[in-house]
Amino acid sequence: MEGTSPIKEKGADKTMIKDMFGTDRLKINLHLHTTQSDGHKTPEEAAAIYREAGYDVIAITDHWKYRESGAIGGLRILSGAEYNIGGANGAEGVYHILALGCGREPRIHREAGPQAIIDEINGCGGIAVLAHPAWSLNTVEQTKGLEGVGATEIYNTVSDAGESSRPYSGDFVDASACRGRLYPLLADDDTHYYNGEDETASYIMLACSPEASDAELLEAIRRKAFYATQGPEIHLRREGSRVTVNCTPAVRISFFSNAVWARGRCVRGSGLTEASCEIQPFETFIRAEVTDADGRRAWSNTIELRQ
Ligand SMILES: [Zn+2]
Ligand SMILES: [Zn+2]
């Protein structure tokens, strides 16, 4: 655990990133826009920017525009699209749903409701992602009845880098988890402007072979074989009644669960690489976040706690 940044090893024709435990990771942004909808770069320009930044995979998720899997300029593309409904008034129910890894283009009506969109994405073999719930002002009341949501975004870069300031969905995530919805937690750029702020900032590090098929990539996302980050590593594990975070040097390590208050859930200092806490009998889930000295954050997935 001496390294503070991932080690890169040049393979035959792939770049492998290893985490602090030696596990191969793929660097992935699953949400971005291009000139095919309201993004400011072409798909080719976007792919070049992400490839240059060391990404292994991106999904091009233009609004109502399906982009199939393949490669652009040597960068792997996972099929994607974003189906947004509800306009701009959060009081009326705004839902933005990503389709990731579909085997064919979803057939979705502009008048479809959120459940019909999710059903069609799942019917195409993809993962339906509830994008930026904080930005959309989604509530647990709105989403608790939706079946088949495969993941959500705990962080969405452009929601703090464009024309809005609600990038963080941790409150929604925790309130959902209180109701038993433990979604895989993505951090995505949702790149639109490519203005030095909303590109190549937030991503997932997926434990998966670069040779994996699309189905294997999706399977790894579904079983939460990743952490979400802006740079730091975060690894969360449970042993009995104790939960431990290992991370690259951080100034803050925080735990989040259905306990609205518990002792020792926020550790501050400098160069922190580990923190742990005791689970209380009533706790049903727990997750963690770290912040490094540069203010960059990382988010673990949620662990379900069965006593
Ligand atoms: Zn959106
Ligand atoms: Zn988007």
Nearest to 197 by CA among 153, 158, 156, 155: 158
Domain boundaries in the chain? 8-229, 234-304
For residue 13, the model assigns a pLDDT of: 52
- In the block, tokens 């090893």 appear at 9
Give residue 132 CA to ligand 1 midpoint distance, Å.
7
Per-residue pLDDT averaged across 130-153, rounded? 97
pLDDT higher than threshold 90 for residue 258: yes
Confidence of residue 7 (pLDDT cuts 50, 70, 90): very low
Which DSSP category does 35 fall into?
T
Q: Are 300 and 154 in contact (CB under 8 A)?
A: no
Q: Are 268 and 294 in contact (CB under 8 A)?
A: no
Give residue 39 CA to ligand 2 midpoint distance, Å.
9
CA 57/CA 208 separation, integer angstroms: 11
pLDDT higher than threshold 80 for residue 88: yes
Per-residue pLDDT averaged across 225-230, rounded? 98
Same CATH topology for 8-229 and 234-304? Answer: no
Per-residue pLDDT averaged across 37-52, rounded? 98
* Residue 276 backbone phi and psi in degrees, to 5: -145, 165
For residue 20, the model assigns a pLDDT of: 97
pLDDT higher than threshold 70 for residue 62: yes
- CA 122 to chain CA centroid, Å, is 18
Query: What DSSP string describes 239-304?
Result: ETTEEEEEEEEEEEEEEEES-SS-TT-EEEEEEEEEEEEEPPTT--EEEEEEE-TTS-EEEPPPEE
- CA 242 to chain CA centroid, Å, is 25
Give residue 84 CA to ligand 2 midpoint distance, Å.
8
Both structure tokens of 60: 């091009």
Give residue 172 CA to ligand 2 midpoint distance, Å.
18
CA 39/CA 62 separation, integer angstroms: 8
Nearest to 218 by CA among 303, 122, 291, 141: 122
Q: What is the fold, at CATH topology level, of the domain defined by 234-304?
A: Immunoglobulin-like (2.60.40)
For residue 162, the model assigns a pLDDT of: 79
DSSP three-state, residue 70: strand
Q: What percent of the chain has pLDDT over 70?
A: 95
Closest ligand to residue 31's CA: 2
Return the CATH number of the domain spanning residue range 8-229. Answer: 3.20.20.140
* Residue 301 backbone phi and psi in degrees, to 5: -80, 170
- In the block, tokens 């996972």 appear at 78
pLDDT higher than threshold 80 for residue 11: no
pLDDT higher than threshold 60 for residue 245: yes
56, β-bridge pairs: none
For residue 3, the model assigns a pLDDT of: 40
Give residue 94 CA to ligand 1 midpoint distance, Å.
9
Closest ligand to residue 97's CA: 1
138: Cβ–Cβ under 8 A, 6 or more apart, which residues? 94, 95, 130, 172
For residue 30, the model assigns a pLDDT of: 98
Give residue 82 CA to ligand 2 midpoint distance, Å.
6
Nearest to 182 by CA among 80, 97, 82, 283: 283
Mean pLDDT taken over the chain: 94
CA 61/CA 72 separation, integer angstroms: 14
pLDDT higher than threshold 60 for residue 144: yes
